[in-house]
Amino acid sequence: MVDFLKKQGYLFICLGLLALLVIALFWALSIGTVKLPLVNIYNTVIEQLFSGQPIEGVDRGPVHDIVWLLRLPRLVLAALVGMGLSVCGVIMQAVVKNPLADPYILGISSGASLGATAAILLGIGVALGENFVGIAAFIGAFAMSLGVLFISNLGGRSNSVKLLLAGMALSAVCGAFSSFIVYFANNKEGMQTIAYWMMGSFAGAKWETLAVIGPIVVLAVMFFWTQSRMLNLMLLGDESALTLG
């Protein structure tokens, strides 16, 4: 009975948070240069959902264009990014067994910054296509993750302390290389581009992009949700986790 009540309470909390997210999205749709009444937003959303017409159809009206072509894609992308980052943070802290673990301390963010800096100022990865900066940043972050794991396993099995120390050391190295590239490139526009890229932006959100990003994030979140027991065991330490399966 107690377990049943706990599950019901957990489900109630999840549904409540989902409802709050929907309310926050509708409220955010009304904020901007052009303020829209919530009634107009609701009618526009319902009309598009049940009309069966393409979102980018012509002569749909200014309210439709503001809601469906400008604001809603950015809000959905922001929700997906927040969902992915929160899950990544939980996984990282469970694996490292340290609540201080994050992409900055472990050097992953610095690796991504170094990859983006090299792509913007040195043109590395231009052959990768239109999104070469993002791809270069991903490669830098992935390479830095492998580097942290390799260094932390030197001289014995890796542990949380060695992971954090290796991440902080490689983060400093990546920061130094990024500053070195920026200093010798002497490219003012490139420096501004790097600053804007590191700050992040959702201005380029489009529905065709969300059609790719959305399923990946949702499936990844659902997968790690099913692995919650394993992540909880990892927090207990390697020996306890092995003992408990």
| Structural contact between residues 159 and 96, judged by C-beta atoms closer than 8 angstroms | no
Give the closest residue to 119 by CA, choosing from 185, 63, 71. 185
The pLDDT value given to residue 127: 85
Give CA–CA dist 20/33, Å, rounded.
24
Structure tokens at 225: 């949700």
The pLDDT value given to residue 241: 64
Q: Write out pLDDT tens, residues 131-140.
A: 889 899 999 9
Q: What angle do CA 216, 226, 158 make, to 5 degrees?
A: 90
The pLDDT value given to residue 5: 59
Q: Write out pLDDT tens, residues 200-243.
A: 888 888 898 899 899 999 999 999 988 888 888 777 766 666 67
Q: Is the pLDDT of residue 168 over 60?
A: yes
Q: What is the pTM of this model?
A: 0.83
The pLDDT value given to residue 3: 61
Give CA–CA dist 117/237, Å, rounded.
37
Burial of 50 (0-12, 13-18, 19+ CB in 10 A): exposed
At residue 85, what is the residue type? L
69-243 belongs to CATH 1.10.3470.10 = yes
Q: C-alpha distances in angstroms, 2 versus 5, 8, 10, 212?
A: 5, 10, 12, 41
Give the pLDDT mean for 185-189.
84
